[in-house]
Chain A
Amino acid sequence: MTDFYQFFLQSLPNLLNGLGNTFLLTFVAITVGFFIGLFLALGRVYGTKAINLFCLGYIEIIRGTPLLVQLFIIYFGLPSVGILFTPLQAALLGLAINSGAYQAEYLRGSIQSIESGQMTAARSLGMSKLQSIQHVILPQALRVSIPAWSNEFIYLLQYSSIAYLITVSELTAEGKFIAAHTFRYLEIFAIIAIIYLVLTIISTEIIDRIAKRLSIPGIGAAKGVGLRDV
């Protein structure tokens, strides 16, 4: 056991290094992806026919092709037309573009779940369409989309490990590196699995608390009841 502990301590600096990149990939992808998703979702619901078609095209192409293929195109493919990225840049870009398409669909669902009377009431007060969306539709739709968004966050946290395949040294890549030098595959990947597990539990808990704080009194889950309680 002391031997395992020693091994853990020795691996820690590398793992923390990798963890930093995992965090970076997750947070950038979820944030940039959110804004891409928001734009696409609004375009799908409220856009003109041309905008709607453009957004639909983006979503279908991204969701219809594997993330790994998208990363390979960005990292290995684009240099042949003169566009070069570092591995980290390519991974950040790929994950954000990919997450945007998925978040667009969650957001579209939540926007469409808001009763049409809300928009009608906002418009009849004299709000413009944009004001109605900003002050009435989105504050409600974003609350509705928190559970799906929580899923997306966990997904990104874990599947950012795919960036390892374009040589980004995130958590999983560091594990592979250590294992290749020590041949202690079981131990190192057990440690990494536990790190992912703990991070997932913590982030779920945090998002759950956010959902509770933002819940609208009297609706659905009562105050103090979170996502996992219903």
Chain B
Amino acid sequence: MDERIMMKGNEALAEAAIRAGCRHFFGYPITPQTEINAYMAKHMPKVGGTYLQAESEIAAINMVLGAASAGVRAMTSSSSVGISLKTEGISYLAASDLPCLIVNIMRGGPGLGGIQPSQADYFQAVKAPGHGDLHILVLAPSTVQEMAGLVFLAFDLAEKYRMPAMILGDGLLGQMMEPLTFPEATVTQPEKPWALTGHGNKRPHNIVSSLHLDPAELERTVRERFAKYEEIKAKEPRWEEYLTNDADILIIAYGASSRAAKSAISGARRKGVRVGMLRPVTLWPFPEKRIKELSQEVSSILVVEMSMGQMVDDVRLAVECRLPVHFCGRTGGMVPTPDEIEAEIMRITAKDRNAAGRRNYEINSEISIPEGRAGK
């Protein structure tokens, strides 16, 4: 077991990737993820690996496509602006059933936006990481420990299901230092008979392609991929629950905003409000089943995000509008404070109490309504 050490989130992620057997990193500098590039540039040569600073994010993701085609663990990392450029390659990777790791250390957008932490790329990561019908695995760390730990999981799941995986972090997690312990590296990569290694005059040639000019064939390949996605949605959702046993209000937050939410929960509980939290660790697949279950045990849900509200849509879909889903968010690089979130919790509590009172009143008044007036 490794000792506990202090590390920056970005560097912990990079070190974890090396420990996970990744020897091919293709990147392009962009704040606030550049430490991943710098760490790889320094450490990849020491383990006989490749660090290559590409001419663009587009080139970097296509180098990943090439290396992944050859069957090695390959990755790239960027931040929001650069991820937009990678979406072409991500679509090809997904459509070619290639495993790889893409890291997005999100910053404020849209456009060039800013360089402070954000979670405004949720839609891009979860709904449309590239053109066409596709999904990628999306994992959301909330600590430096997870910035490292989820790298192993991301590579394992990507290879198991032959699809790209994304670690969706944010500038706060990338830049902060925290103690962590690296998990024991037990890297077992599956056989990759599909990989391009040269046929050696011993087998038919392997082809990695996403082109299907026959629409019926293309539909078949997409449907096959979606059958795989259903299996992943059934087996792979991961989440963490915090004080959900007795909760009246359920907070749903991931990444850095879940940290602020946790502090807010302590504050609200001191005031006697029973608040708990579900923190999705996988954003795709989304832990919708568990959220639906919990929605039957609480009176309100509060979604906290560093965006104008993106994951909140998926929460509303999961609970099928059976209870109020509130939203508290900051955007543009602003991080919600525990006080802001606590104030929102108290506002919801007051509202819930009023609503509960009103419901009782309405039930009573309904009884007293004379016949003939009902329905007006």
- Our verdict on whether A and B bind, yes or no, reads no
